[in-house]
Structure formats: structure tokens, C-alpha cells
Amino acid sequence: MTTPLPRHDGTIALVTGANKGIGREVARQLAASGMTVLLGARSAERGQAAVAELIADGAGDVRFLHLDVTDEATVQAAAEAVERDFDGLHVLVNNAGISGISRVTHPSIADVTASDVRRAYETNVVGVIAVTQALLGPLCRARGRVVNMSSALGSFARVTGANGGAPSPHLLLPYSSAKAALNMVTVLYAKALSEAGVSVNAVSPGYVATDLNNQAGTRTVAEGARIVVDLATRPAGELPTGAFLSDSGDLPW
Ligand code: NAP
């Protein structure tokens, strides 16, 4: 019996932090839609295991790409591999993220240290900038699309209740402030890259059961992946840029 060749339609997507959680599900769905998906992971062991599982499940053309978003050497090597192997990058999902806190060691905001915040910003903000910047060439050549994994917890309106809703009770200093910064990063890249035809949007997947929240979330990874896959696959003419979206519509900044 011969193994069927993976189907792919020439669309190249890179998902960071895709060895588990929402990123893995996004990688699975994009590959199932026909894209060639580069599954970024900081651990070769975890990344290759995820690729092997997805391929065994018939996901399509999924390839491991070693990428620690906080490690400039792996970011540069990953960008060089994309430049070498492909004409352009059509979809970049900046998904890798950390909460930067734990309920056990951070029972209150007074227990959060500057180094906790630095660590969260390194991954959730600086990491996104490092990866996006390193891939600008392939993204511009493909008139690509960037989807930044933000959070409703990064929304000033949601946290303060300024949109008329109940203010969020969560005071997650490293995480919320990093995602708020990521929202501004998204808007600035969207403005800067619009002439090159590259769209840049921020999304919130909702409260999804993953290791990030010790599986406490109420949504599935498939539900969390929905808005990302939507933006990655929508016809170009229907794509916003500089927006903050969930699968139920626009989110307030
Ligand atoms: P998760 O299951 O913990 O997945 C996070 C992924 O990011 C893992 O693959 C992790 O790799 C990777 N990662 C962490 N640091 C990295 C680094 N320096 N370089 C490369 N990869 C790194 O959590 P998730 O819920 O799926 O989170 C995915 C994204 O969604 C995050 O940006 C998160 O902030 C966002 N989000 C999640 C929720 C939710 O309710 N779950 C809500 C709003 C937003 P390792 O396995 O090596 O740690």
C-alpha cells in the first residue's frame, strides 16, 4: 500500500507555539484546508511529536519548524528556512504565549514581580515583533496576513467596563498589560504594512480549555481556533486590517 502524498495548495502558513493548545488546532485546520503549515515549536521533541500525530491523523502537509520566539537565533534560522524553501509566507499566526503567572505563586497582584512582567512581555510582545520583523520579506512578497493571538483581557474597555459591560474581575498584570501592548503593536504594523497589501489583525479566541489556564476554559480548542482560521482563509477582499476580533464580531480596544 502506498502512502498518499500530502495535499497542498501552495499557500504557506506558519503558526508559532503550535505543538499544543489552540495553535496546534489552528495548524491542524489550516493543513486540512490545503495549506502547507509550518508548525513552530520551541522544543524539537514536542514539535516533532505534534507533527507526527497530526500527519498520522491525516491533517495534510504539516512540517516542524524550530522556533523559540524569545530566542533571536532560532527566529533568524526559521526566517532563513522560510526564505530558502518558499517564495513567500501567506499566513503568519503569532500564537505562542504564556500567562506569566500562577495562582499558587501569585495569589495577589502584590506578588507579581518585574521579572514576571519582563518574561511575559518577552514572549507575548517582543516575541511577536521579532518573528514578524524577521518574516517581513516573505510576508510582503505574498501580500500575506498576520493574525496576532491577543485576549479580551488585553482590552481596556473589557477590563474597566468602559464598554458598558461588567468590568473584568481578573487582575493579571503581566498577561493583560502584555496583550494590551500586543494590540497596539497590531495596529501599528497594520498601518505600516497596508501599502504592501499585508493585513494584520488581533484576535481573542475566548476562554479556551488549555494548559495556559490549567484546562479551566469553557471553550474547545476548535472554537478558539475559529476566528484565526476564518482570518487565514477569508477571501482577500473581505479581510479587515488593524481590527480586534472574536468569532462573535469586533471587540472593543
Ligand atoms: P497553551 O496550550 O499553553 O499553548 C501555548 C503554546 O505557546 C505552547 O505550544 C507553548 O510551547 C508555546 N510557547 C510558549 N512560549 C514560547 C516561546 N518562547 N516560543 C515558542 N513557543 C512558545 O496555551 P493556549 O491557550 O493554546 O495559548 C495560545 C495563545 O492563545 C496564547 O497567545 C494565549 O495568550 C492566547 N489566548 C488563550 C486563551 C485561553 O483561554 N486559552 C484566551 C485568550 C488568548 P511549550 O509547549 O513549549 O510550552
Quickly tell me which residue has 488585553 as its cell: 154
Please provide residue 17's backbone torsions phi and psi, each rounded to the nearest 5 degrees: 55, 50
Q: How many domains does the chain have?
A: 1
pLDDT tens series, the chain, 253 aa: 444 445 578 999 999 999 999 999 999 999 999 999 999 999 999 999 999 999 999 999 999 999 999 999 999 999 999 999 999 999 999 999 999 987 777 778 999 999 999 999 999 999 999 999 999 999 999 999 999 999 999 999 999 999 888 888 888 999 999 999 999 999 999 999 999 999 999 999 999 999 999 999 999 999 999 999 999 999 999 999 999 999 999 999 9
* Ligand 1 pocket: which of 25, 53, 95 to mutate (most atoms within 8 A of CB): 95
Pocket test for ligand 1, best of 76, 212, 213, 215 (most atoms within 8 A of CB): 212
Is there a domain that residue 225 lies in?
yes
**To 10 degrees, the CA torsion angle through 18, 21, 27, 33?**
180
> Contact, 62 vs 9, CB < 8 A?
no
Q: State if pTM tops 0.85.
A: yes
Radius of gyration of the chain (CA): 18
Residue 7 belongs to some domain of the structure: no
Assigned domain for 29 exists = yes
Q: Is the CB of 69 under 6 A from ligand 1?
A: yes
* Inside any domain, residue 195: yes
Buried b (16+ CB within 10 A) or exposed e, 135-146: bbebbbbbebbb
CATH number of the domain encompassing residue 34: 3.40.50.720
Domain that holds residue 222: 12-250
DSSP assignment of 184-236 equals HHHHHHHHHHTTTT-EEEEE---SB-SGGGTT--SB-HHHHHHHHHHHHHS-G
Give the three cell numbers for residue 220: 474547545
For residue 183 and ligand 1, the question of a CB distance below 6 A is answered with no
